[in-house]
Chains A and B, each alone.
Chain A
Amino acid sequence: METIGIPRALAYYAYYPFWKTVMATLGRELVESGATTKAILDEGISEACTDLCVPIKIFFGHVAELKGRVDKIFVPRLVNVSQGDTFCPKFLGLPDMVRYGMKDLPPLFAPRVDLRKKVRGWVNLARMVADAFDSSIISVLQGLEKGKRVQAAYENLLLQGFTPKEAMEILETGQKGKVSDPGKEQVGTIALLGYPYSLYDDFLNGNLLSRLRALGVKVLTPEMVPEKVLYTKIRSLPKGLFWHFSNRVLGAGLYYLREVQIDGIVHVSNFACGPDAMVNKLLELEAKKHSCPFLTIGLDEHTGQAGIHTRLEAFVDMVRWRRQRACE
């Protein structure tokens, strides 16, 4: 069976179950790269252009990891998925950057995903997939439909508070009984905001999510808010941002600040991330308006787990004291 490698980075965390299903209906196997490791990061650093942000470097590392063990590598060009906004330019240029930045690659499967025009967008996508795999457009369209259903189930699990890893496991094994564990609320509730590839890559962020939970914090993420609600918040702004993931993060921030009782915000950002320069400032100003404690964690190639944990602990302590003072 032809194998398609999918780098476990960037949009993987958002759309993997969709593509897994589509490929399976076409009789192809989608093979993930392993979880991010130091070796993968180092490989990425040596392959990618220095000025790129660390998530893209990690993506390069995962591509290198897949090299040699799959027939094709999946590097989608994500342009637009639903809401009229686009993706960061680095996503727009991703296949070209990989193609010209790395040597000895297997062929890339790089469909251009632009669903701005709904029907035509899906048909175009189906055509690209059909061309790449020599299948009929009808069977691809069926596959896409099936993929959409699985994706909806996946997003539903994320809404309930499962992490992508847990949700994927549940989909895979069909386990139903499991309950999500957003952390017990002993100390307080914190909105953990950031792109999926920053929040759910445990190597990149030094196990930030589980660390927060272990500190007795109930953790809320952008994935726990329905997309519709996120975008209502974005439309309430004089001007929305241009980038999909950024709008989701900003929308979640606005939602949690305005409509949920939270004790603090932790924004997880990446060194020299362009869109985040805007997102971070907007969140900071908004948090200030609501007198909500705000912490930014910047990640880069050199981030150590100890540094992150110390700062998280200090922040959680501060949240605890604030609460105690408010009760007195």
Chain B
Amino acid sequence: MRITFPYMGHSHWVFRQLLSELGHEPIVPPRPTKRTLDYGTRYAPEFACIPFKVLLGSYLEAIELGAEAVVTTGGVGPCRAGYYAPLHQRILADLGYDLDFIVLEPPLRNLKDFYRQLRKLFPPRIGIGKLLGILSRAWVKLNAIDYLERLSHQIRPRELEPGRTTKVFEQCLELLGAATTVSEMKAAREEGRRLLAEIPVDREKELLKIGIIGEIYVVLEPFINHNVQILLEEMGVLADRSIYLADWVRGNALIPGEKDIKRAARPYLKELVGGHGLNSIGETVLYARRGFDGVVQLAPFACIPEIVAKSIIPAVSSILDIPVLTLFLDEQTGVAGIKTRLEAFVDLLWQKKRKGAGAQWKQVTLA
């Protein structure tokens, strides 16, 4: 089957490999562009969140490339992402495209359905050993990508030649992408580590520490967040991102995790509100405890859970004395606007840091 999947950050390297090892032809949607978003905004509801629009656009682009099916995740709400698949399917059907949706719902909700969906993906006769091999190779690759990305974020704020780290990291992804066996992946990971370590850096440079929190898709997809993390790092900020895909899979799909985050959020928000709403509060608390200088919250415009979080964050921010900048992102957001706001935020944080504690900071709000 010619199968496509949601495009998010660097994860396509992993899905591509997984699908082709399962005997399908992966249709990798093009990296989202203005065109993707134009497609999406044309057919999506006006107030659908930006990930919905980008995905709709990239499904349409994948259809142009010959996709016959989509594999994606479901959800039980109350975040809207859990309803993406049925609505995407209906909108595409209305446009005359009959795309097969393979939706992986949380297995515990309906085991039979989960199995039926998985069966569509797996070849008819496959040994459990072979299957585990395929899954573990995908897992190794995902972890290797995250490892190298983390490393790049350590190095970029200190690089002497601007833009060098980004170039080298692209190279690392190519290396990893080409690796198919576990030993090749390990070699590629090692090679990538060596390449990144060779980048000339200023070890003495004083850095600000900023945490990046928010909704998973806009945090992971640079096209939507306009490379916020890299922009910050190029301003001399050590930017720590709260979400990496491998950690997220480990904490949400394999074993229940993130307990510390939920516990930290508890005094401020006593209910799961779907999506990453509770996480955004918990992570702000944890960044404050870890002595970070500030936090940047990224959220899709009209994202319900993040709006709930944003309504409460000013209290967290003033009680724990940690400045928070919220950026709501949509199809109108431009990189210049983001950059200006980040520069101003970074300036403020430097002033606060140099003056020492004591100044009272309010949350900065930007539409």
Indicate with 1 or 0, residue by residue over B76-100, a CB within 8 angstroms of chain A CB atoms: 1111101100110011001000000
Complex contact B82–A96 (CB within 8 A): no
Complex contact A50–B367 (CB within 8 A): yes
Given contacts A52-B311, A274-B304, A277-B47, contact A92 B78 (CB under 8 A): yes
Complex contact B83–A274 (CB within 8 A): no
What is the CB-to-nearest-CB distance from B117 to chain A, in angstroms, rounded to a whole number? 13
Interfacial residues of chain A within 88-140, with CB under 8 A of chain B in the complex:
88-90, 92-93, 95-97, 100-101, 112
Q: For the complex, is A321 an interface residue (Cβ under 8 Å from B)?
A: no
Interfacial residues of chain A within 26-66, with CB under 8 A of chain B in the complex:
48-52
Complex contact B312–A100 (CB within 8 A): yes
Please report the number of residue pairs spanning A and B whose Cβ atoms sit closer than 8 angstroms: 126
Complex contact B45–A277 (CB within 8 A): yes
Q: For the complex, is A272 an interface residue (Cβ under 8 Å from B)?
A: yes
Complex contact B273–A243 (CB within 8 A): no
Stretch at the interface among A15-23, A191-199, A279-287: A279-287
Indicate with 1 or 0, residue by residue over B30-51, a CB within 8 angstroms of chain A CB atoms: 0000000000000011111100
What is the CB-to-nearest-CB distance from B70 to chain A, in angstroms, rounded to a whole number? 15
Which residue of A90, A100, A271, A288 is within 8 Å of B304 (Cβ)? A90
Complex contact B48–A96 (CB within 8 A): no
Q: For the complex, is B308 an interface residue (Cβ under 8 Å from A)?
A: yes
Interfacial residues of chain A within 59-95, with CB under 8 A of chain B in the complex:
77, 79, 85-90, 92-93, 95
Which residue of A52, A88, A95, A285 is within 8 Å of B78 (Cβ)? A88
Interfacial residues of chain B within 234-250, with CB under 8 A of chain A in the complex:
none
Q: For the complex, is B199 an interface residue (Cβ under 8 Å from A)?
A: no
Q: For the complex, is B9 an interface residue (Cβ under 8 Å from A)?
A: no
Complex contacts, B87 vs chain A, CB 8 Å: 278, 281-282
The chain B residue with its CB closest to the CB of A269 is B47
CA distance A280 to B46 in the complex (A): 10
The chain A residue with its CB closest to the CB of B315 is A100
Complex contacts, B269 vs chain A, CB 8 Å: 93, 96
- If over half of A's interface residues share one DSSP class (helix, strand or loop), that class is named, otherwise mixed; here it is mixed
What is the CB-to-nearest-CB distance from A55 to chain B, in angstroms, rounded to a whole number? 13
What is the CB-to-nearest-CB distance from A239 to chain B, in angstroms, rounded to a whole number? 5
Complex contact A277–B301 (CB within 8 A): no
Complex contact B86–A92 (CB within 8 A): no
Q: For the complex, is B26 an interface residue (Cβ under 8 Å from A)?
A: no
Complex contact B310–A51 (CB within 8 A): yes
The chain B residue with its CB closest to the CB of A237 is B86
Complex contact B314–A239 (CB within 8 A): no
What is the CB-to-nearest-CB distance from A245 to chain B, in angstroms, rounded to a whole number? 12
What is the CB-to-nearest-CB distance from A186 to chain B, in angstroms, rounded to a whole number? 34
Given contacts A51-B310, A274-B47, contact A92 B83 (CB under 8 A): no
Complex contact A274–B314 (CB within 8 A): no
Complex contact A277–B80 (CB within 8 A): yes
Which residue of A48, A77, A95, A241 is within 8 Å of B83 (Cβ)? A241
Which residue of A92, A97, A285, A288 is within 8 Å of B311 (Cβ)? A97
Q: For the complex, is A238 an interface residue (Cβ under 8 Å from B)?
A: yes
Complex contacts, A288 vs chain B, CB 8 Å: 94
Indicate with 1 or 0, residue by residue over B284-321, a CB within 8 angstroms of chain A CB atoms: 00000000000000000111110110111011000000
Q: For the complex, is B222 an interface residue (Cβ under 8 Å from A)?
A: no
Q: How many residues of B contact A (CB 8 A)?
A: 44
Q: How many residues of A contact B (CB 8 A)?
A: 40
Indicate with 1 or 0, residue by residue over B159-203, a CB within 8 angstroms of chain A CB atoms: 000000000000000000000000000000000000000000000
Q: For the complex, is A182 an interface residue (Cβ under 8 Å from B)?
A: no
Complex contact A93–B277 (CB within 8 A): yes
CA distance A52 to B301 in the complex (A): 11
Complex contact B83–A93 (CB within 8 A): no
Complex contact A278–B80 (CB within 8 A): yes
Complex contact B273–A242 (CB within 8 A): no
Q: For the complex, is B272 an interface residue (Cβ under 8 Å from A)?
A: yes
CA distance A87 to B78 in the complex (A): 7
Which residue of A92, A93, A243 is within 8 Å of B312 (Cβ)? A93
Q: For the complex, is A206 an interface residue (Cβ under 8 Å from B)?
A: no
Complex contact A52–B272 (CB within 8 A): no
The chain A residue with its CB closest to the CB of B363 is A49
Complex contact B91–A281 (CB within 8 A): yes
What is the CB-to-nearest-CB distance from A269 to chain B, in angstroms, rounded to a whole number? 8
Q: For the complex, is A275 an interface residue (Cβ under 8 Å from B)?
A: yes
The chain A residue with its CB closest to the CB of B269 is A96
Given contacts A48-B311, A275-B80, contact A89 B277 (CB under 8 A): yes
CA distance A273 to B80 in the complex (A): 11
Complex contact A280–B45 (CB within 8 A): yes
Q: For the complex, is B361 an interface residue (Cβ under 8 Å from A)?
A: no
Interfacial residues of chain A within 269-328, with CB under 8 A of chain B in the complex:
271-278, 280-282, 285, 288
Q: For the complex, is B360 an interface residue (Cβ under 8 Å from A)?
A: no
CA distance A79 to B301 in the complex (A): 24
Given contacts A89-B308, A242-B82, contact A79 B302 (CB under 8 A): no
Which residue of A49, A79, A85 is within 8 Å of B310 (Cβ)? A49
Given contacts A97-B308, A97-B312, A100-B312, contact A242 B47 (CB under 8 A): no
CA distance A79 to B274 in the complex (A): 12
Complex contacts, B274 vs chain A, CB 8 Å: 89, 92, 242
Complex contact B312–A89 (CB within 8 A): no
CA distance A274 to B310 in the complex (A): 15
What is the CB-to-nearest-CB distance from B332 to chain A, in angstroms, rounded to a whole number? 13
Q: For the complex, is B112 an interface residue (Cβ under 8 Å from A)?
A: no
Complex contact B45–A90 (CB within 8 A): no
CA distance A95 to B271 in the complex (A): 10
The chain A residue with its CB closest to the CB of B326 is A51
Given contacts A243-B77, A275-B80, contact A88 B86 (CB under 8 A): no
Complex contact B311–A93 (CB within 8 A): yes
**Nearest 9 A-B pairs (CB), nearest first?**
A242-B77, A100-B315, A93-B308, A274-B304, A89-B273, A277-B47, A49-B311, A277-B45, A272-B302
Supply 9 A–B pairs (Cβ within 8 Å), ascending by A: A51-B307, A92-B271, A92-B274, A93-B269, A93-B277, A271-B47, A273-B47, A277-B49, A285-B91
